[in-house]
Homo-oligomer: A and B are copies of this chain.
Amino acid sequence: MTDALKDLKERLAEIEDYQAIFAVLEWDQQVNMPPEGAEGRGYAIARIAERAHNLSVSEEMIRSLEDAEKSVIGMDADADDVRLVKLCRELLDKEIKVPSDWVSEFAQTTAIAHNVWEEAKAKNDFALFQPHLEKIVDMRRQYAGFFKPYDHIYDPLLHHFDRGLNTADLVEIFSALRPRQVELIRHISSRPQVDDSILHGHFPEKEQWDFGVEVITAFGYDWNRGRLDKAVHPFSTGFNRGDVRITTRIYENLAGSSLFSCMHEAGHALYSMGSAPALARTPLSSNHSMALHESQSRMWENLVGRSKPFWKHYFPKFQSRFRSQLANVNQADFYRAINKVEPSFIRVEADEATYNLHVMLRFEVELALVENRLQVKNLPDYWNTKFNEYFGITPPDNSRGVLQDVHWSAGYIGYFPTYSIGNVISVQLWEAVRKDLPNLDEQIEKAEFKPLLGWLVENIHRHGAKYECQELVKRVTGSKIDPQPYLRYLESKYKDIYGA
Contact = CB atoms under 8 A, between A and B. Distances in A.
Given A34-B225, A36-B242, A51-B51, A43 B17 contact: yes
11 contacts: A13-B43, A18-B47, A24-B24, A24-B25, A34-B227, A35-B224, A36-B243, A37-B225, A40-B240, A41-B239, A51-B51
Given A34-B227, A39-B242, A243-B33, A44 B28 contact: no
Contact of A37 (B25, B229, B239): B239
A118 to B, nearest CB: 14
Interface in A17-60: 17-18, 20-21, 24-25, 28, 32-41, 43-44, 47-48, 51
Contacts of A281: 43
A223 interface: yes
A259 B105 CA distance: 43
Contacts of A36: 222, 224-225, 242-243
A319 B92 CA distance: 65
A35 B227 CA distance: 10
A164 interface: no
Contacts of A38: 242
A245 B222 CA distance: 28
A226 interface: yes
A205 interface: no
A482 interface: no
A265 to B, nearest CB: 15
A34 B223 contact: yes
Give the interface residue-count category, chain A: 35 or more
A42 to B, nearest CB: 10
Interface string A361-380: 00000000000000000000
Interface string A210-235: 00000000000011111101000000
A21 B21 contact: yes
A14 interface: yes
The count of identical subunits is: 2
Interface of A: 13-14, 17-18, 20-21, 24-25, 28, 32-41, 43-44, 47-48, 51, 222-227, 229, 239-243, 245, 281
Nearest to A43: B17
Given A225-B36, A226-B34, A243 B41 contact: yes
Given A14-B47, A21-B47, 8 more contacts: A17-B43, A17-B44, A21-B21, A24-B24, A35-B224, A37-B239, A39-B242, A41-B239
Contacts of A242: 34, 36-40
Given A34-B226, A226-B34, A243-B34, A24 B44 contact: yes
A226 B36 CA distance: 8
Contacts of A227: 32, 34
Nearest to A239: B40
Nearest to A229: B32
A38 B242 CA distance: 8
A490 B240 CA distance: 51
Given A13-B43, A242-B40, A25 B21 contact: yes
A37 B13 CA distance: 16
